[in-house]
Amino acid sequence: MTKPQILPRLIVSEPDRASAYYRDFLGAEEVFRALGDDGRPTVVEHLLGATSFRVSPAVPAWGWLSPDDLGGSPVLLEIEVDDPDETGARMTDNGAETVVPIENRPYGKRSGRIRDPFGHLWIVTGEPR
């Protein structure tokens, strides 16, 4: 038996656009894509460092709802990077919104919270300046 692993799946209204955003502004590498009969992606898998995550379209009939469908995201995704300020700026310069500014925190990290253009919340964190 292989070791269990968690593969987060981000439900979005526009999987192609979301995949491009995560690739271009977070540095994720697309490693797998499955298309439905309509040519739209049903799942796009990304590798970000040693972590995989997937993006899929919202399908309300299956209970797959995007943060917009739910009125916000109930999940925080944390990404640890070398330069949180640069990553946060890249995200917000390209459609994301700052929820909590990136700054040095009393617990020894530099972090803040960003809502990406698809409604998912990211804690962007790294070493303090």
Domains delineated in the chain:
9-126 (3.10.180.10)
Residue 50, C-beta contacts closer than 8 angstroms, at least 6 positions apart: none
- Residue % of the chain over a pLDDT of 90: 93
Quick one: pLDDT band at residue 104, thresholds 50, 70, 90?
A: very high
Residue-wise pLDDT for 66-88, tens only, equals 999 999 998 999 999 999 999 99
Average pLDDT for residues 42-59, to the nearest whole number?
96
Cβ contact 80:28 at 8 Å: no
- Residue 1 is predicted with a pLDDT of 66
Nearest alpha-carbon partner for 21 in 119, 125, 111: 119
**Is residue 98's pLDDT more than 90?**
yes
Quick one: pLDDT band at residue 125, thresholds 50, 70, 90?
A: very high
What is the rounded distance in angstroms from the CA atom of residue 67 to the CA atom of residue 69? 5
- Element counts in the chain: helices (H) and strands (E): 3, 8
Rounded to two decimals, the pTM is 0.92
Q: H/E element holding 123?
A: strand 121-126
Average pLDDT for residues 31-51, to the nearest whole number?
95
- Residue 2 is predicted with a pLDDT of 80
Average pLDDT for residues 21-28, to the nearest whole number?
96
